[in-house]
């Protein structure tokens, strides 16, 4: 059993059936034995992009995440402190939160982000 956190783009690709999501990543997400998490940071990021007209996505992401069978990962004060203490390999605050959450919760992160390996977390390539 894997404990997986989806990067925001991996969640969007899954929701849209986008073929950019690789076969192995698809299998990991679809495997009922795996526990898949979506961070509140991803929902926040998607909501902002929707409001700016940069992303089309449902307004009620909370219900969508539940219907997909994913677990919701809230942002704790500990996660926030950890994100603020990360080395500055990557400046995107949403991604830094995902990294901190993956570290704190012992999760593998499904991503295509090229900066994430610098943080020494367990990754699954979203494109493979």
pLDDT score, position 47: 96
Distance CA 29, CA 70 (A): 9
pTM for the whole structure: 0.94
pLDDT score, position 111: 97
The full 3-state SS of the chain, as one line of letters, equals: CCEEEECHHHHHHHHHCCCCCCHHHHHHHHCCCCEEEEEHHHHHHHHHHHHCCCCCCCCCHHHHHHHCCCEEECCCHHHHHHHHHCCCCCCCHHHHHHHHHHHHHCCEEEECCCCHHHHCCCEEECCC
pLDDT score, position 106: 97
Domain boundaries, the chain: 3-125
- List of the chain residues with pLDDT < 70: none
Q: To which residue do tokens 């679809």 refer?
A: 30
pLDDT score, position 89: 87
pLDDT score, position 96: 96
pLDDT score, position 77: 98
Architecture of domain 3-125: 3-Layer(aba) Sandwich (3.40)
């Amino acid at each position: 059993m894997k404990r997986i956190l989806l990067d925001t783009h991996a969640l969007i690709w899954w929701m849209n059936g986008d073929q950019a999501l690789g076969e192995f990543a698809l299998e990991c997400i679809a495997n009922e034995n795996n526990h898949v998490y979506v961070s509140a940071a991803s929902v926040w990021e998607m909501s902002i992009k929707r409001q700016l007209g940069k992303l089309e996505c449902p307004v009620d992401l909370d219900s969508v995440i539940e219907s997909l069978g994913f677990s919701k990962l809230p942002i704790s004060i500990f996660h926030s402190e950890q994100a603020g203490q990360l080395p500055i390999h990557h400046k995107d605050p949403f991604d830094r939160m995902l990294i901190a959450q993956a570290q704190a919760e012992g999760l593998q992160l499904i991503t295509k982000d090229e900066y994430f390996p610098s943080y020494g977390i367990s990754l699954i390539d979203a494109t493979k």
